[in-house]
Structure 1
Amino acid sequence: MEYKLFDDYITLQALFKELSIIHSGGAIKGFLANNTVLFNGEDEKRRGKKLRHGDIITIPSQELQITIVAPTQVEIEEHRQQIAEKARVAAIVKKMNQDNKKNQKRQQPKESNKTKRKPVRFPGT
């Protein structure tokens, strides 16, 4: 299996989580304790090990070999466009949430001291 790395590096924990080998970041310690993980042919137990282009991760118990490869220039451009689109959508959602919050504050009637009710108090509490 090949994994295209768009950044300088990815940690072993992040790679396993992204590939759904583990379900959460906390599960990596147990996974590494119970399974043999080979980094370029050598046993690796560090969850924060930085993986770069050309590295090979092997999990013999699952008969899985992951090769970290560099993406093509076209894939890099597509990845940048996807990131830009996510950022654009996030900014729109943030603006909409701020506007909704402002509108809710405007629509709420201000309560005067006369209309406020005091909470019911029970004897002995």
Structure 2
Amino acid sequence: MVAEMDDFQAKDGMIRLGQLLKASGLVMTGGEAKMVLAEERVRVNGELETRRGRQLHPGDVVSLGGESVRLT
């Protein structure tokens, strides 16, 4: 089964990981974003990521569970 991937366009072309998780709907709150990152459930470009402030750039893919978002 292939995971579903959505595109997300950041206004400035760049966004921080915690902001993307919330803005894309992968999590509902900033607190939930902090929790899933602490539980090591988030991947960026296939690699585990725990830093909420990581800067993302166009082409980066963020995955949580069976959902993925590509920054455009």
Q: CA deviation at 1:22?
A: 2.2
The one-character-per-residue Cα deviations of 1:9-54 (angstroms, maximum 9, x if unpaired) are 1111111111222222222221112352111111100001111111
**Normalised TM-score (structure 2):** 0.77
What does residue range 29-108 of structure 1 map to in structure 2 within 5 Å? 29-59=34-64, 61=65, 63-69=66-72
Selected match of 1:23 from 21, 28, 35: 28
The root-mean-square deviation of aligned C-alpha atoms, in Å, is 1.5
Which one has a bigger Cα radius of gyration? 1
Alignment partners' CA distance in 1, 2:13 and 2:7: 16
Q: CA deviation at 1:8?
A: 3.3
Q: Which runs of 4+ in 1 moved over 4 A?
A: none
Other structure's SS at 2:52 match: coil
Q: Gapped runs of 5+ residues in structure 2? A: 1-5
Q: Gapped runs of 5+ residues in structure 1? A: 70-125
Structure whose residues are more often helix by fraction: 1
Higher relative contact order (CA 8 A, sep 6+): 2
Code of the residue aligned with 1:26 in structure 2: it is: G
Q: Percent identical across equivalent pairs?
A: 31
Equivalent residues, number: 67
**Normalised TM-score (structure 1):** 0.48
